[in-house]
């Protein structure tokens, strides 16, 4: 960890090199009104809207929509199977079946899907406006860096895991944009000086702040349910083709109940897989103060808490255990982190170069875009090493097959 101490509050970084625009955003965070104690920047950090992806921000009494992110509740789910061997033909069979039952990209289900949460949608205009569409979006992968993967342990056990990455779909995107605009208006009307208008915030002691908080938490529930529905269908396809059982890794790793947040599956929850958010805000206590903890592209890493840190589609992913380091506000990286923008990647990377990076992996195709090719991302092993004081790697997984959201 290195520290920058020439701003209003310190910036603590778990990476040696950070792109200039991302560093500028970190400096802006350090000068934001109500920012508390210090800013933490994870080893996978890169530039985002207002705040770096891979950034961790604590505030007093305020919430920053762009510090939560535009894909509210984006996160991971992973489950361990008892199967240890699989061939290429079977991997293709499974991925083909998945593409028929889990829509990707901008495709939705043709029929509304069931989720009990639709009956408790808050009476907030943007939520109600998007509700009918969300009924067909739940259980869909989305586009960009969202994916479904089949991976195998790099160990003597060699168990195969199923993993997916997705968020709150258009629900979270619309909520984020609506309340960012309202936050800018709130700051303008109250003559609040901002280091960057992209860091506009809402006070939680106002009706508007409470409205966003309610909408955000509903999006978190939706995102988790979205992953839950897809994982259930993925597990069903897996058993139809492969048989075998699913191992409750939460119990296997830690048979004792921990006081963990609802973002993490735990013993007695009825779930057998690890499930986490990495774009959210929550009420927590750090350095003796009640704060609003923003994690944008960052994973909570309480002592003993399980997390998922995925690599790119051609590189390893990790199941990790949090070490509860207070210096990172008990957080760690959420993935490999981009080192190349989407525009730059599509301009520079050829199909031949992209294909070379995923040799030996069953893949559904690039569709003419290479902005998710492995070379777009940082070295995941270096990210894991850089955060050795934040999270301990428990399981290293190599990819066998991947479905991306295109």
Residue 16: burial class (beta carbons within 10 Å; 0-12, 13-18, 19+)? exposed
336-343 average pLDDT score:
90
Domain boundaries, the chain: 2-404
Query: Where does the pLDDT of residue 263 fall: very low under 50, low under 70, confident under 90, or very high at 90 and above?
Result: very low
Find where tokens 């938490």 sit.
217
* Alpha helices (H) along 243-304: 249-253
| 387 neighbors 331 (Cβ within 8 angstroms) | no
* Alpha helices (H) along 83-191: 88-101, 125-137, 169-189
Query: Where does the pLDDT of residue 254 fall: very low under 50, low under 70, confident under 90, or very high at 90 and above?
Result: low
299: nearest Cα among 134, 35, 73, 23: 73
Query: Where does the pLDDT of residue 398 fall: very low under 50, low under 70, confident under 90, or very high at 90 and above?
Result: very high
213-240 average pLDDT score:
95
How many whole angstroms separate alpha carbon 262 and alpha carbon 397?
25
| In the predicted structure, residue 267 carries a pLDDT above the cut 70 | no
Q: What is the pLDDT of residues 39-77, one digit of tens each?
A: 999 999 999 999 999 999 999 999 999 999 999 999 999
pLDDT value for 50:
94
Give the percent of the chain with pLDDT over 90.
83
Element (H, E) at 238: helix 207-242
Find where tokens 């509210």 sit.
72
pLDDT value for 106:
85
Write down the mean pLDDT value for the chain.
92
Any idea which fold 2-404 has? Answer: tRNA-splicing ligase RtcB (3.90.1860)
Pair of tokens at residue 315: 């590189």
| In the predicted structure, residue 201 carries a pLDDT above the cut 80 | yes
How many whole angstroms separate alpha carbon 312 and alpha carbon 169?
21
pLDDT value for 273:
85
Q: What is the pLDDT of residues 15-32, one digit of tens each?
A: 999 999 999 999 999 999
105-114 average pLDDT score:
91
Q: What is the pLDDT of residues 346-384, one digit of tens each?
A: 999 999 999 999 999 999 888 888 888 999 999 999 999
Q: Is 156 helix (H, G, I), strand (E, B) or coil?
A: coil
Query: What pTM does this model have?
Result: 0.94
pLDDT value for 368:
82
Give the percent of the chain with pLDDT over 70.
95
Q: Under the phi-then-psi rule, with left for phi > 0, alpha for psi from -120 to 50, and beta for the rest, what region is 382? A: alpha
| 180 neighbors 72 (Cβ within 8 angstroms) | no
End-to-end CA distance of the chain: 37
> For residue 44, which phi and psi values (nearest 5 degrees)?
-100, 15
| 315 neighbors 383 (Cβ within 8 angstroms) | no
pLDDT value for 271:
65
Residue 247: burial class (beta carbons within 10 Å; 0-12, 13-18, 19+)? middle
230-237 average pLDDT score:
94
| In the predicted structure, residue 211 carries a pLDDT above the cut 70 | yes
Sequence-distant (≥ 6) Cβ neighbours of residue 368 within 8 angstroms: none
Could you count the other beta carbons within 10 Å of the beta carbon of residue 23? 18
One-letter-per-residue 3-state SS of 327-356? HHCCEEECCCCECCCHHHHHHHCCHHHHHH
């Amino acid at each position: 960890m290195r520290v920058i101490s020439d701003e209003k509050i310190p910036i603590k970084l778990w990476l040696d090199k950070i792109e200039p625009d991302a560093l500028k955003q970190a400096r802006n965070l350090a000068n934001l009104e109500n920012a508390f104690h210090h800013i933490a920047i994870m080893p996978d950090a890169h530039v985002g809207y207002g705040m770096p992806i891979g950034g961790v921000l604590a505030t007093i009494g305020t919430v920053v929509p762009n510090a939560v992110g535009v894909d509210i509740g984006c996160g991971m789910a992973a489950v361990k199977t008892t199967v240890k061997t699989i061939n290429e033909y079977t991997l293709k069979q499974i991925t083909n079946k998945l593409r028929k039952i889990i829509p990707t990209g901008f495709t939705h289900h043709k029929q509304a899907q069931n989720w009990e949460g639709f009956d408790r949608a808050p009476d907030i205009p943007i939520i109600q406006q998007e509700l009918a569409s969300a009924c067909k979006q739940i259980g869909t992968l989305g586009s960009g860096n969202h994916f479904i993967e089949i991976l195998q342990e790099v160990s003597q056990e060699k168990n195969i895991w199923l993993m997916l990455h997705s968020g709150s779909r258009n629900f979270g995107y619309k909520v984020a944009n609506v309340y960012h605009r309202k936050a800018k208006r709130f700051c303008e009307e109250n003559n609040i000086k901002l280091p960057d208008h992209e860091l506009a915030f809402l006070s939680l002691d106002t009706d508007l702040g409470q409205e966003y908080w309610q909408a955000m938490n509903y999006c978190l529930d939706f995102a988790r349910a979205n992953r839950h529905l897809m994982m259930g269908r993925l597990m069903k396809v897996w058993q139809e083709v492969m048989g075998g059982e699913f191992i409750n890794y939460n119990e296997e790793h830690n048979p004792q109940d921990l006081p963990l947040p609802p973002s993490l599956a735990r013993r007695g929850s009825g779930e057998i897989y690890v499930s986490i958010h990495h774009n959210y805000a929550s009420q927590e206590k750090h350095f003796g103060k009640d704060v609003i903890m923003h994690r944008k592209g960052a994973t909570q890493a309480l002592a003993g808490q399980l997390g998922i840190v995925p690599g790119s589609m051609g590189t390893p992913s990790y199941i990790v255990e949090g070490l509860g380091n207070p210096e990172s506000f008990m957080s760690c990286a959420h993935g490999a982190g981009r080192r190349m923008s989407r525009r730059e990647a599509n301009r520079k990377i050829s199909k031949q170069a992209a294909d070379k990076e995923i040799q030996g992996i069953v893949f559904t195709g690039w569709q003419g875009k290479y902005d998710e090719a492995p070379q777009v991302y940082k070295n995941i092993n270096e990210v894991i090493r850089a955060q050795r004081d934040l999270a301990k790697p428990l399981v290293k997984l190599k990819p066998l097959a991947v479905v991306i959201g295109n």
